[in-house]
Amino acid sequence: MLKRIFDIISSLFGLILLSPFMIIIAILIKLDSRGPIFFKQVRVTKNGREFKIFKYRTMRVGSDKYSQITVGKDSRITKVGDFLRKYKLDEIPQLINVLIGDMSLVGPRPEVPKYVALYTEEQREILKVRAGITDYASIEFSNENDILANEADPEKAYIEKIMPRKIELNKKYLSEISVMTDIKIILLTIKKILK
């Protein structure tokens, strides 16, 4: 209950504080390429419930039909999109998801149903909590695109190497879940982005 109150207050405050900045980003996206400002995609959250995640659109329209994994300097990424991804600014609209209750500020990053379907029963433990904007895995794999760029089969590498490690880190979060842990992870995330 305390975590949810923290999420509501923080996301509302964040949306109000960042609203002028969000308008500027929206204008830049529209000037850079054709298509909507937001990218919406089905992801999985608490108890396996599906929801639509909000992000700023960083790719050309329809790019997600070819692959749900982004690798290195992906040619589908727009100029503005490249900048937004680099500083994780494309994630800002997820504050809306937090406010309406689909997500939490901190929690396991929400996967697409395709990859959640591969989870073992034990791995599905991470679905006991709301998905989050950031977590230990987001910090450790902040350069995930570059890691996958060095793989012969990026999707296979994601499923066999990265996904199990992310789930392991998510279980670590579940074992120490608290508002203080959330604050710690938020600060670590900001530090990582600024680096």
Q: Region 174-178: what's the mean pLDDT?
A: 95
What pLDDT was estimated at residue 1? 84
Give the count of domains, the chain: 1
Yes or no: say if 142 and 118 are a contact pair by the CB < 8 Å rule: no
- pLDDT greater than 70 at residue 41: yes
The pLDDT value given to residue 16 = 98
pLDDT for 39: 94
For every residue of 168-183, DSSP letters joined together read HHHHHHHHT-SHHHHH
Tell me the Ramachandran region of residue 27: left when phi exceeds 0, alpha when psi lies from -120 to 50, beta otherwise: alpha
pLDDT, tens digit, for every residue of 62-104?
A: 766 666 666 667 778 899 999 999 888 999 999 999 999 999 9
pLDDT digits (tens, 9 = 90+) for 108-167: 999 999 999 999 999 999 999 999 999 999 999 988 888 888 888 989 999 999 999 999
What is the band of 177 on the pLDDT scale with cuts at 50, 70, 90? very high
SS3 69: coil
- According to DSSP, the residues that pair with 134 across neighbouring strands are 106
**Tell me, what's the pLDDT at 66?**
62
How buried is residue 9: exposed, middle or buried, by Cβ count under 10 Å (0-12/13-18/19+)? exposed
Domain, as residue range, for 152: 2-194
C-alpha–C-alpha distance, residues 130 and 127, integer Å:
7
